[in-house]
Amino acid sequence: MTRKIYTNSKFHFQSILGKILFLYGLLGVSTILNTHNNLFSYFLLPQKKSILLVNKTLPEKMDLTTSINSSFLDLFHNDMECEVEDTHSMLNLRILKIENNQFSYSALVSELSNAIISFSLSRKEFQDFEKDKRYGEMNAKALSRLRDYKVNDGEAGEILLFCFLESHLKAPKILTKLELKTSSNDYVKGSDGIHLLRIDTNKFQLIFGESKLEASLTDSLSNAFKSIFEFINRDRNNIDYEMGLINSQLCKEALSEEVYQFVKSIIYPSANTTEPIQKDNAFAIFAGFEIVVSDEEKKMKNDDFRMLIRDRIKEEVEKKKVHIKKKITEYKLFNYTFYLYVFPFMELDKTRKKIIEDLIHPVK
């Protein structure tokens, strides 16, 4: 019988290898049992719609989670989702479902009543209320930041943009303008909200929101692009100021120190690393506009009315692709990505106020 003779070096090597494999096996079991304590690279978990930092061992799972489920999109016909030629722009047309020749605003308000808490409150505020199960106070606090519906011309669009960015684009919020208000009458300049979108492993976009509601879709788009141009170029309350605001507001969020540092590393990425994070700024536009319906058209059969209105809206939006390209060229915004959500209203002025009224004073 031949006996295998090991030299000291071979035995030492195999002994170490055995220990490594043994420890690796234990680590694997530990990771399965407690995944949130052993995180090794960072990635986006689409099924949880959250951004996770996993190149450090954290005391608890870090996530920036979207609060609006994709089921929110079930309220709308997705009648257009396309790129605008020769621009870095994605155009989305969402038409609220139509029942009995009217847009179903009651169903929309029902969904927005759930969204208003995460739109209006910071994560820290939400966590503090939830910890003590003060749900009534939580809802009251969120609603108290909305302006009086009688003079509220824009916040319905801001809430809808927030919902689309979270449910459709899967971009969790960093902060919204409403979080910064100490009273309903406060006026806060700057973007309507800021969201974080992961494009690839080390590539992110910081998305600044801009909502406009005008009777004319042309005016709504024009005013949005003008506001974005001014936001980038003005001397005060500009995009640089907003970046600093993000940093200061993050300190107030319910984030661990590791998570805070990670998000900060995205906002202010360093190029002097082995695998540098690449961050670009982008913009999301909510362009609300009015679709005029005659009394005779309201008398049509329900199916015929739905077909007529949807076709009319699609035709209107299709013609605005040229205008979008024109505005990007006019303001020399070629180097930015735009996510445009176009949304039609019937009786715009009345409806945008009614949505806020029903949120603040729900019908019993």
Asked whether residue 51 is assigned to any structural domain, the reply reads yes
Structure tokens at 37: 């304590």
The CA distance from 234 to 238, in Å, is: 6
Structural domain contains residue 135: yes
Residue 291 in any domain: the answer is: yes
pLDDT tens digits, residue range 256-308? 677 777 788 888 888 877 888 899 999 999 999 999 999 999 999 999 999 99
Instruction: Please check whether residue 6 lies inside any domain of the structure.
Output: no
Q: Is 14 among the domain residues?
A: no
Exposed e or buried b per residue across 125-161, where buried means at least 16 C-beta atoms within 10 angstroms of its C-beta: bbeebeeeeeeeebbebbbebbbebeebebbbbbbbb
Q: How many domains does the chain have?
A: 1
For 286, the domain range is 46-360
pTM of the model: 0.80
- What secondary structure does DSSP assign to 163-225, as a single string? HHHHHTS---EEEEGGGG-SSTT----S-SEEEEEEEETTEEEEEEEEEEE-SSHHHHHHHHH
Asked whether residue 312 is assigned to any structural domain, the reply reads yes
CA 219/CA 288 separation, integer angstroms: 10
Map tokens 């969904």 to a residue.
111
Handedness of CA 224, 158, 287, 80 (dihedral sign): positive
83 in a domain, yes or no? yes
Residue 3, pLDDT above cutoff 50: no
**Average pLDDT over the chain, rounded to whole?**
81
Which pLDDT value is given to residue 54?
40
Is residue 19, in this structure, part of any structural domain at all? no
Given a cut of 80, is residue 140 above it in pLDDT?
Answer: yes
